[in-house]
Each structure stands twice: as structure tokens, then as C-alpha cells.
């Protein structure tokens, strides 16, 4: 396409963005219009993509981080012939693939965006997969807005990409000066962005974002720069081309009041088609193999206690040998989580993200885009920093495995800043997650292995201290199941635990025998989905539950248990034992006692219920 044709294409993208928002009665046309020339040059001259084969291994990856500008992306898809004009105008309608912010319901969208500051972090993961794992020449293009440059996650991404030297990654920053409620922090001061980005090891180019030749030259420079990623920092005007809204405050996030006048001002409706360049004919790396003779860890029942975090790390190392598509990401605590055991045998598939939990989850999502099986681990308490990234990963339909260790008060002397007491609630609340909480080493082996085949986000909670090995290496632990460890027809109460409280419940059951009280004990290792049938059977048989959890009372194990009832199933009498107070520093045993979740507290609660 000539420069003149690309100018026309940019105008078409603006017109179609205005039309889409007008048809919806909502949307962000002005944010789309500022970046239209950038998108036009990228689409016509630099993107390599086969829209008929979105899974082509040579395809470039385009991530619109400023996801509110989705009309621009959809207009580009129309210009490429991927969607019709009729579908474009279903924007934001019930059942339409043209959602308010893009999601992978569209086959050309890698990840959902819309929560600002996430597109570049995920793009780093996609680019890193190409350079370190796939060894493919595709480029990753990320279009960001200037407002999201205030997000700390963006700067985690800049540093990670710079350290990795991801020269096949290009970020295009649409500096249109205006945010949602007024001017951005740096306005049109392009150098304010460039100075910071260069400090992270990037090559930067500052341009007029409406100058076709300058945009083309900048993208060519990005494609030929070696050893460093490139940031194209483009000065643009929000609402470009429509006098009603161009560079005017108060016009964000709403359709134009007179779209027909704006369309006339922009030169009218067009129907240009762009021939997007084909990707190179490359072969994807062979994956799915490994050494089938590798043995998973086996721990001796009744032998030395083993921490579930240790079993996690040893299992992960074995999985890396069994399956050559497993990738492990660490938040600079791999020596404590034991994920570091993987790196000794598989250093090329071990990605150190340092203490940047948002970037760690984003990188996991990014390498998952390329089909790798990602395990990301850190202390469970620190995953709260990455909650929004996990939430968006669910919207992206990502399949990633997340492991949080050092959970609960049972970590002991480190104190409350290191104790995850909210993680079960956080992970249960995310759409379509699987939440697992093993209590011993052999159970951990089976569950960590099962995670690799689970759809969506799977979370495993592991603990710091050594635990007795109560299961054999051959025991099965299906997701959605539980284990009934003690059972008798004369049971009067059911004790329910997960993780450390399973062992406390077993000890409590032993104490109750002296009082002539029989107690059923359930290990509810699958917190989501929960074993509804076993719980309902126990309720019918015993009528009383004591639920003990090393977690705050809100949203954890007890809520999972009690959510199994209703709809005609009577609720048992029950007592919830959880961490109600703010812990301090103490030994693990002292912590369990102070929280009221140890064997003595469980037994006392059971006695009280039975006496009711």
C-alpha cells in the first residue's frame, strides 16, 4: 500500500470505530481514533499474520493493551477481511464476539485486555516464548495507551524484557495526552517516557503518530534492532479527525454526539481491504515428548515427615523430564518453594521473574499462549499482588498452574506478613478455577501431576512444615474428590480438614475415642470443585460437622463445605474453626493453638456439638 492508501486506511479505521460505537451507543471511539494511523501502518506493512490460520506458528502476535480501544482492533479485522461490516456493527451487543474489550472468543485475540497495564507484561511472556522456548522468528507487537504507563506492572514488564533482550518485542505507546478524566501525568512529553524506558535497556524511537512515513520508519527500525526490545513512543491526538472531539477533554468513553457529521468530516465510509503479509513458513518445535522412564517421587508411609512444598518441587523436576512442554516460573523464592529443583535439570525451561509477581503470572499467561504448560510459584501470601492478573487470565481462558507455598499460620515464626490467610477465598472466587490443598507428600505428587491436564487456572496450596506421610504412592486423588480417613456406622460427628488441619483432625478423632465419641474424618483436598456427595452422605450419617481451616473464616474451606447444601439437602449442625485473630510470631504448634484450629480445639468443638 502507498502512503496515500495508508492515510485512507487510517481514516477508514476511524470511521468504522465511530460507526461501531454509535451502533452500540457506548464505547471508546476517541481512544481508537488516536491510534488509527499506527494500526494502519502496522497492518499494511509490518504485521505478518494468516487470519485463516490463527494457530500458525509463524504468526506475529498483536496485543491491544489499551483494550478499551477495541473498536480500532475490530475495524482492523474488518479491513483484513476477517470479519464482516455487519459483525462489526454488533459491537457490544448480546452474544456478539465484538465485546466491549477484546477476549479470545475471537480466534485472533491471544489474551483478554481491558484492565490496563497487562498487555505489555503478557506480551513479554509471548515474546520470551518465541526467543527462549520456541526459537521462532515471530514478532510480538503491543499497543499501549499513555494512561497505563502509570501502572507499576508496565515497568515490571519493561525491566523483564530489557534484561532478556527481547528484540522481537515492540511496544507502541499511543501518547494522546488525555486520560479518562483529564490530562495524563506527562501529557505530550515523549522524552519523559523515553528516558525511563531506555533506563530498562530498551531502544526508543519518538515520532509523530500521524506521520505515515515516520511510523513506517520506526517499525522498520524496530524490526532490525538487535539485542534490545524497541518502544515506539508516538505523539497523537485523541479523537483525531473529528472536530467535535479531537484533543478535547470530557469526550472519553462515549460515542460521538453527531456521528454522521464526524463521518462526513473524516471523508465518509470506505471499504478498503488490506492484504496482510503472510507469516514465514516455519515448523513449530516438537513438544509433548520426554523420558517415559522417569519415575515420580514416592514417599514411605509412616516414614520421615515431608513438607508438601518439598514434594511439589521434587515432583516438578520429574515432570520436567516426563514432559518437555513444562515450563516453571519463579518469583525469586525457588529455594524455599523448592521450584528451584526443576532448574537443575531443565534450566532452559526455568524462567526467573524475580520479586515481580504480576510479571510472573503475566509471563505464565504469555508462554501459555504458545501452548507451553506453565507452573508459576511463590509464597501464597504474595500472590495477592497478582490477583488482577489471575482474574484476567481467567477471562483469557488461560490454562496455567499456580502454586502458593508457606500458607497459613502453620508457617510459624515469620509472622502474619508471610502467612497466606486469604488465598483460598481469592482463588475460589476466580471463574472456573480448580483449588487443591494436599496434606501429605504422596497426595501432593498426584495432584501436582494432575494439574498439567486441568483446564483453566489450577491453584495448589502447599505448606512449609514437614507433615506425616499418611497415604501410599499408589493412592489416587481425583480432582473433585476427597478421602474419608475414619468412618464407622456409629459416627456422631464429622471432622473436616485440608492440608495441616487433616493431621489435627486425625489427632482430635483419637482424643474423642476416650470420650466414647466416634468421629468421621474427611480430607477435603479438592476445595474447588468440592466432593458434594461425600459431604452430603456424612451430613446424613452424622448430622454434625466441625470444619477446621488454616485460613481466615471468609471464603475458605468452610464456605466450600457449606456451599454443598441447600436445594433440599438439610444443612448439618456445624462449627467453623478458622483464624479469626491477627497472628504474631510463634512456633507452628503455638500458632495452631492460638488460632483454635489444633487437635484440642477440634475435639472440644466436636464434644460441644455432640452434646447439643
Q: Is 476 exposed, middle or buried (0-12, 13-18, 19+ CB in 10 A)?
A: exposed
CA 526, CA 434: separation in Å to the nearest integer?
8
Q: Which three cell numbers stand for residue 347?
A: 534450566
- Res 289 pLDDT > 90: no
Q: List the one residue out of 555, 604, 609 whose CA is nearest residue 578.
A: 555
Residue 283 is among the residues annotated as catalytic for this protein: no
Residue with grid cell 492460638, as numbered in its chain: 594
CA 39, CA 239: separation in Å to the nearest integer?
15
The mean pLDDT of the chain is 97
Beta bridge partners of 576: 547
Beta bridge partners of 329: 351, 376
The DSSP line for 185-199 is SSTT-HHHHHHHHHH
As a whole number, mean pLDDT of residues 314-334 equals 97
The DSSP line for 329-382 is EE-S-HHHHSTHHHHHH-GGGEEE--S-HHHHHHHHHHHHHTT-EEEEEEEGGG
- Res 284 pLDDT > 90: no
CA 591, CA 598: separation in Å to the nearest integer?
9
As a whole number, mean pLDDT of residues 536-555 equals 98
Q: What is the pLDDT of residue 597?
A: 98
- ∠321-324-329 over CA atoms, to 5°? 90
**pLDDT of 380-397, one tens digit each?**
999 999 999 999 999 999
Beta bridge partners of 352: 330
Q: What is the pLDDT of residue 584?
A: 96
- Res 608 pLDDT > 90: yes
**pLDDT of 238-264, one tens digit each?**
999 999 999 999 999 999 999 999 999
Q: What is the pLDDT of residue 189?
A: 98
User: Annotated catalytic residue: which of 357, 422, 504, 549?
Assistant: 357
- The model's confidence at residue 569, banded by pLDDT at 50, 70 and 90, is confident
Q: What is the pLDDT of residue 612?
A: 87
Q: What CA–CA distances, in Å, run from 401 to 62, 125, 365, 404, 594?
A: 24, 15, 10, 10, 33
Burial 172-182 (b: 16+ CB within 10 A, else e): bbbbbbbbeee
- The model's confidence at residue 158, banded by pLDDT at 50, 70 and 90, is very high
Amino acid at each position: 500500500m502507498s502512503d496515500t492508501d495508508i492515510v485512507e486506511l487510517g481514516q477508514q479505521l476511524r470511521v468504522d470505530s465511530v460507526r461501531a460505537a454509535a451502533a452500540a451507543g457506548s464505547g471508546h471511539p476517541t481512544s481508537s481514533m488516536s491510534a488509527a494511523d499506527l494500526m494502519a501502518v502496522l497492518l499494511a506493512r509490518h504485521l505478518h499474520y494468516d487470519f485463516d490460520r490463527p494457530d500458525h506458528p509463524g504468526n506475529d502476535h498483536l496485543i491491544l493493551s489499551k483494550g478499551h480501544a477495541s473498536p480500532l482492533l475490530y475495524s482492523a479485522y474488518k479491513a483484513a477481511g476477517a470479519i464482516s461490516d455487519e459483525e462489526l456493527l454488533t459491537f457490544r451487543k448480546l452474544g456478539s464476539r465484538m465485546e466491549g474489550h477484546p477476549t479470545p472468543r475471537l480466534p485472533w485475540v491471544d489474551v483478554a485486555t481491558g484492565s490496563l497495564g497487562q498487555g505489555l507484561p503478557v506480551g513479554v511472556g509471548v515474546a520470551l516464548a518465541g526467543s527462549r522456548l520456541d526459537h521462532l522468528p515471530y514478532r510480538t507487537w503491543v499497543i499501549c495507551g499513555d494512561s497505563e504507563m502509570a501502572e507499576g506492572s508496565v515497568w515490571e514488564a519493561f525491566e523483564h524484557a530489557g534484561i532478556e533482550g527481547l528484540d522481537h518485542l515492540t511496544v507502541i505507546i499511543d501518547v494522546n495526552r488525555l486520560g479518562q478524566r483529564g490530562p495524563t501525568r506527562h501529557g505530550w512529553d515523549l522524552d519523559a517516557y523515553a528516558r525511563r524506558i531506555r533506563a530498562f535497556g530498551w531502544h526508543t524511537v519518538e515520532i509523530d503518530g500521524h506521520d505515515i512515513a515516520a511510523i513506517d520508519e520506526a517499525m522498520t527500525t524496530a524490526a532490525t534492532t538487535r539485542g534490545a526490545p524497541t518502544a515506539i513512543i508516538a505523539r497523537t491526538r485523541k479523537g483525531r479527525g473529528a472536530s467535535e472531539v479531537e484533543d478535547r477533554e470530557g469526550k472519553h468513553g462515549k460515542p460521538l454526539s453527531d456521528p454522521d457529521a464526524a463521518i462526513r468530516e473524516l471523508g465518509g465510509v470506505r471499504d478498503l481491504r488490506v492484504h496482510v503479509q503472510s507469516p514465514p513458513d516455519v515448523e513449530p518445535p516438537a513438544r509433548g515428548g520426554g523420558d517415559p522412564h522417569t519415575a515420580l517421587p514416592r514417599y514411605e508411609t509412616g516414614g520421615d515427615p515431608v513438607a508438601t512444598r518439598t514434594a511439589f518441587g521434587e515432583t516438578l523436576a520429574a515432570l520436567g523430564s516426563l514432559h518437555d512442554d513444562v515450563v516453571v516460573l519463579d518469583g525469586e523464592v525457588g529455594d524455599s518453594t523448592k521450584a528451584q529443583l526443576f532448574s537443575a535439570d531443565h534450566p532452559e525451561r526455568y524462567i526467573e521473574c524475580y520479586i515481580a509477581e504480576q510479571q510472573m503470572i503475566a509471563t505464565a499467561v504469555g508462554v501459555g499462549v504458545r501452548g507451553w504448560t506453565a507452573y508459576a510459584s511463590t509464597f501464597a501470601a504474595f500472590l495477592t499482588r497478582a490477583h488482577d492478573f489471575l482474574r484476567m487470565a481467567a477471562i483469557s481462558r488461560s490454562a496455567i498452574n499456580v502454586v502458593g507455598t508457606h500458607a497459613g499460620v502453620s508457617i510459624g515464626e515469620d509472622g502474619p506478613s508471610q502467612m497466606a490467610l486469604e488465598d483460598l477465598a481469592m482463588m475460589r472466587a476466580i471463574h472456573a478455577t480448580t483449588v487443591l490443598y494436599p496434606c501429605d507428600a504422596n497426595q501432593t505428587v498426584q495432584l501436582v501431576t494432575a494439574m498439567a491436564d486441568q483446564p483453566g487456572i489450577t491453584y495448589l496450596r502447599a505448606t512449609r512444615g514437614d507433615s506425616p506421610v499418611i497415604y501410599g504412592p499408589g493412592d489416587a486423588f481425583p480432582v473433585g474428590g476427597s478421602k474419608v480417613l475414619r468412618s464407622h456406622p456409629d459416627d456422631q460427628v464429622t471432622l473436616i480438614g485440608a492440608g495441616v488441619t487433616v493431621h489435627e483432625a486425625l489427632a482430635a478423632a483419637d482424643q474423642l475415642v476416650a470420650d466414647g465419641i466416634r468421629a468421621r474424618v474427611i480430607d477435603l483436598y479438592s476445595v474447588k470443585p468440592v466432593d458434594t456427595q461425600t459431604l452430603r452422605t456424612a451430613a446424613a450419617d452424622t448430622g454434625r460437622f466441625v470444619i477446621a481451616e488454616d485460613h481466615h473464616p471468609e471464603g475458605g474451606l468452610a464456605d466450600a463445605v457449606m456451599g454443598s447444601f441447600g436445594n433440599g439437602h438439610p444443612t448439618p449442625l456445624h462449627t467453623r474453626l478458622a483464624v479469626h485473630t491477627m497472628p504474631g510470631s510463634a512456633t507452628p504448634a503455638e500458632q495452631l493453638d492460638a488460632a483454635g484450629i489444633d487437635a484440642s480445639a477440634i475435639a472440644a468443638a466436636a464434644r460441644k456439638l455432640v452434646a447439643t
